Amino acid sequence: MIPRHSFSLGGLCVLALAMAGCAGTPPEEDPVQIKLKDLETRLGRIERVVANQSLLDLANQNEAMRADLRAMHNDIDQLNNKLETSRKEQHDLYADLDRRLKALEGRGGGGPGADEAGAAGAGSAGGSAGPGADDKAAYQAAFDMLKNSQIDAAIAAFQKFLLSFPDSTLADNAQYWLGEADYVNKAFPAAQAAFQKVVDKFPQSRKVPDALLKIGYCQYELKDFDAARRTLSKVTTQFPDSPSGHLAQQRLDSMAAEKH
């Protein structure tokens, strides 16, 4: 028979060895440590995904802002181009009108009214008689208003002249300068109609090439680009060596560059 105290001592030794074995388990084999490492790994992956998504969002936002900025620059460039084109056309308009007025003043030494009277008498199929004192004075007054940039007054004066002296040899010139005055006022439909009357009523007038040119200009301003091309091409064909023919070709080239 084994003594009781010997059994108790042996049990205690076994228990102590078992506990020592548990305490001595390496950390890498500890289920708790393994679980913690797994959680840490998963958490790290989640953090990286979140961080990458944030960076992606920022990149997308940055690219969208860049696209908006490019669009704004493009809009600004287009506005600047349109403004520059408008300024150039306005400058060309006044330069052309000033050139014509100065050319008239420089011919014959008789002033613009006398020169226009001579041109009308030579080239117009208006009346058979020369201009009288009344129609010449009325024409001169209207022309002076236009020359002095009194555009609205000149329009009214030329309209009155055409009503009062429809058969005057100055009628074709008055009709043409009425169109020019409307054109300066940007009243393009009225200007086109006035220039068309020069072509229709005075087909032999020296003003026909200029009137046709300005009809094309009016059609351009009214964005009737097909009609403008036809009219300007007609000017270049019928009057190729005239100043109007050269100006018509320049506008056609400009329209081609603008893709109109």
pTM, whole model, 2 decimals?
0.56
Examine residue 235 and state whether it is found in any structural domain, yes or no. yes
Examine residue 91 and state whether it is found in any structural domain, yes or no. yes
Give the CA radius of gyration of the chain: 46
pLDDT tens digit string along 125-148?
333 334 456 889 999 999 999 989
pLDDT reported for residue 115: 43
Residue with more model confidence, 169 or 8: 169
- Helix (H) or strand (E) segment spanning residue 164: helix 151-164
140: tokens are 């001169």
pLDDT reported for residue 129: 39
Of the given ranges (8-22, 79-93, 96-110, 166-180), which has the lowest mean pLDDT?
A: 8-22
The CATH number assigned to the domain holding 211 equals 1.25.40.10
Write the CB contacts of 199 (distance below 8 Å, at least 6 apart in sequence).
208, 211, 212, 215
Examine residue 143 and state whether it is found in any structural domain, yes or no. yes
Q: In which domain, by residue range, is 174 found?
A: 85-257
Examine residue 55 and state whether it is found in any structural domain, yes or no. no
Q: Which of 177, 166, 167 is nearest to 140 (CA)?
A: 177
Share of the chain above pLDDT 70, in %: 62
Amino acid 240 reads P
At residue 111 the predicted structure's pLDDT band, cuts being 50, 70 and 90, is: very low
Q: Is the pLDDT of residue 55 over 60?
A: yes
Residue with more model confidence, 5 or 49: 49
> What CA–CA distance (Å, rounded) separates 196 from 29?
103
pLDDT reported for residue 92: 65
Examine residue 153 and state whether it is found in any structural domain, yes or no. yes
> What CA–CA distance (Å, rounded) separates 117 from 217?
26
Examine residue 25 and state whether it is found in any structural domain, yes or no. no
pLDDT reported for residue 112: 39
pLDDT reported for residue 34: 77
Q: Is the pLDDT of residue 103 over 80?
A: no
Q: Is the pLDDT of residue 253 over 80?
A: yes
Given a contact cutoff of 8 angstroms between Cβ atoms, the answer to whether 121 and 90 are in contact is no
Write the CB contacts of 207 (distance below 8 Å, at least 6 apart in sequence).
123, 172, 173, 175, 176, 198
Count of domains observed in the chain: 1
Examine residue 66 and state whether it is found in any structural domain, yes or no. no
User: What separation in angstroms does the CA of 227 have from each of 144, 168, 221, 244?
Assistant: 33, 32, 11, 17
pLDDT tens digit string along 194-218?
999 999 999 999 999 999 999 999 9
> What CA–CA distance (Å, rounded) separates 87 from 69?
27
Examine residue 243 and state whether it is found in any structural domain, yes or no. yes
Residue with more model confidence, 41 or 252: 252
Residue with more model confidence, 113 or 232: 232
| Helix locations, 165-240, DSSP H | 171-184, 188-201, 208-221, 225-238
At residue 70 the predicted structure's pLDDT band, cuts being 50, 70 and 90, is: low
